[in-house]
Structures are given as C-alpha cells and as structure tokens.
C-alpha cells in the first residue's frame, strides 16, 4: 500500500509493537496498515516520522485545545522535523481513504491537503518533498551543527513566527515535541482573541 514511499524514504529499524488493539480503535485500512508497519519509525535522516498511536493521541489532545473542530474522526499519524503534525480526517475522504490535514504550530494554522493518507505518502512526500518537508532548510540546520531530532523531539523556533520570530537558523532549537506543542497551544489561545496589531507585552504559560 505504501510501496513508493517505502522505496524512496529510508527508515530506521525501529518498529513499535502497539499495545492498543488497533482494530478496536476503528482505523481506516490505510491508517491501520501505516501503524502496523511503521509506528514510531523515522525516515529520511529523521526528516519525517510516523507517530506511535499513544503519541498521536497525546498530541491530538494538545491540538484540540487550540484548533476548533478536532474530534474522534481526526487522528494524528505523523510529523516532520519542525514539529508540523499530519492527521487523517475521516470527515472528508478522498478516493476511499481519509484525507490529510497539517497542523502548523508556528503559524497557528490548519492546512487541508488534497491527498488521502496513501497518496500523501506515495505521491506528496516523494514528489513534493521540499514543499512538504522543507528538505533544504533541514539540510542547512544539519550542516550548521544542528542535531537530528529523535522520535520525541523537533526543531522549533525559539520565538514563534506568529509572534514575529525570524524564520532562520538563529531562531531554531532542538526541543521536546509535546512540550513545543503545549507551549504553542497556550500562546495561540491567548493571542487569538486579540485584535490585529495588538502589542503583546507579556505571555503567561501554565506548567
């Protein structure tokens, strides 16, 4: 089902035996196959990874606090090196499989992609690797001495782009993926009710 993706993206040899009954969760056949074969695995020198089901559930809970409409028919299955999360959406299937959404922590925006889960891996990630995964920017990060993110990490912006942070290497740091999303969610909740152009003098984070 994911043959083209698997032939083009070299994965690490990590595979997780999921403790949850994946059939009971009610996954579409494509998502079920993805987790059965690649749960917890990273690909392309850690530029992309398939989340474990537990990771997907935890990150989904965080995302649901700052994005309206997140429900049980949406499931986080993957993320890239910068912490952008990809989720399946059963509400809008394409060619018989769930479509794909991307949650962007830096802009606080949701993007709906014109692919289902299978097409996203076999076509979008292979043919549009730069557009989807910012491969050149990742190369710059590694060449500058930056470390590859582990399965629990991402390379995030110290000052988020939605707070006018710079989108360059000097504003990047290696951080825990779930912490990064938790902080981003809290910031987004606080600023979304503000009128455009409001000067932000302080931010309060809950621990």
- pLDDT computed for residue 27 by the predictor: 85
- pLDDT, tens digit, 9 for 90 and up, residues 41-82: 999 999 999 999 999 999 999 999 999 889 989 999 999 999
H or E stretch including 180?
A: helix 177-191
List beta partners, residue 31: none
Q: Is the pLDDT of residue 19 over 70?
A: no
- pLDDT computed for residue 24 by the predictor: 63
Answer whether 188's CB lies under 8 Å from 108's CB.
Answer: yes
User: Which pair of structure tokens corresponds to residue 184?
Assistant: 């981003």
User: Which pair of structure tokens corresponds to residue 73?
Assistant: 């028919």
CA nearest to 99, candidates 108, 107, 89:
89
Answer whether 62's CB lies under 8 Å from 34's CB.
Answer: no
H or E stretch including 84?
A: none
Q: How confident is the model at residue 195 (pLDDT cuts 50, 70, 90)?
A: low
> Cα(114)–Cα(124) distance, rounded to whole angstroms?
9
- The three-point CA angle 168-172-178 to 5° equals 135
> Cα(97)–Cα(119) distance, rounded to whole angstroms?
9
- pLDDT, tens digit, 9 for 90 and up, residues 139-174: 999 999 999 999 899 999 999 988 888 999 999 999
- pLDDT, tens digit, 9 for 90 and up, residues 181-190: 999 999 888 8
- pLDDT computed for residue 125 by the predictor: 97
The pTM assigned to this predicted structure is 0.89
Q: How confident is the model at residue 179 (pLDDT cuts 50, 70, 90)?
A: very high
- pLDDT computed for residue 205 by the predictor: 45
Looking at 68-183, which runs of residues are DSSP E strands? Answer: 74-80, 85-94, 97-104, 109-116, 153-157, 172-176
- The three-point CA angle 75-76-80 to 5° equals 160
């Amino acid at each position: 089902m994911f043959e083209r993706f698997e032939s083009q993206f070299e994965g690490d040899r990590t595979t997780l035996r999921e403790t949850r009954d994946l059939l009971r969760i009610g996954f579409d056949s494509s998502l079920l196959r993805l987790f059965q074969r690649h749960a917890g695995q990273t690909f392309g020198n850690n530029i992309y990874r398939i989340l474990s089901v537990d990771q997907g559930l935890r990150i989904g809970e965080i995302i649901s606090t700052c994005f309206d409409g997140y429900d049980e028919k949406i499931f986080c299955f993957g993320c890239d090196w910068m912490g952008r999360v990809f989720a399946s959406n059963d509400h809008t299937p394409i060619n018989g499989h769930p479509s794909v959404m991307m949650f962007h922590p830096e802009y606080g925006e949701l993007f709906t992609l014109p692919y289902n889960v299978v097409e996203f891996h076999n076509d979008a990630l292979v043919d549009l690797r730069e557009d989807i995964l910012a491969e050149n920017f990742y190369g710059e990060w590694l060449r500058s001495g930056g470390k590859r993110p582990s399965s629990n990490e991402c390379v995030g912006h110290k000052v988020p782009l939605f707070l006018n942070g710079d989108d360059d290497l000097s504003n990047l740091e290696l951080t825990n993926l779930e912490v990064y999303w938790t902080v981003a969610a809290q910031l987004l909740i606080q600023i979304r009710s503000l009128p455009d152009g409001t000067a932000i003098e302080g931010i309060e984070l809950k621990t």
